[in-house]
Structure 1
């Protein structure tokens, strides 16, 4: 099955570390990264979609971060 996650974080090194960790756990980048201004918090936010092929059958209980 193919899994999809959207990683997001404030535009700091924490975002890069989150994406790097996903890549090192077998996730693949899907599309381009995105940025948006968070008016409420007054910070820039980043996002990146990632996908991963794994064995099994998807259910809504699948723990994506544990794959």
Structure 2
């Protein structure tokens, strides 16, 4: 595994969005692409919808 993420993406990312199927697919795709979950997801309510955040870190990174 490369120590550098693909497409010039940073080693650490925080994926955010409404708590829906699209958000889950984005996180799932990141995991398939080589990122690992970093911590627990966070949830908040903006008055209309639940918003999720999930941090991921590049699994090939040697810190």
Question: What range describes the TM-score normalised by the shorter chain of this pair?
Answer: 0.7 to 0.9
> Per-residue deviation at 1:20?
0.3
> Per-residue CA shift, 1:16-48, capped at 9, x if unaligned?
100000000000000001110013xx1110110
TM-score under structure 1 length normalisation: 0.70
Unaligned runs of 5+ in 2: 5-10
Unaligned runs of 5+ in 1: 55-67
Aligned to 1:44: 50
Structure with the higher fraction of residues in strand conformation:
1
Q: Which one of 12, 15, 19 corresponds to residue 7 of structure 1?
A: 15
Where do 1:24-63 residues align within 5 Å? 24-39=32-47, 42-52=48-58, 53-54=60-61
Distance 2:45 2:53 in 1: 12
Distance 1:7 1:38 in 2: 17
RMSD of Structure 2 on Structure 1 (CA): 2.0
What is the aligned length?
Answer: 53
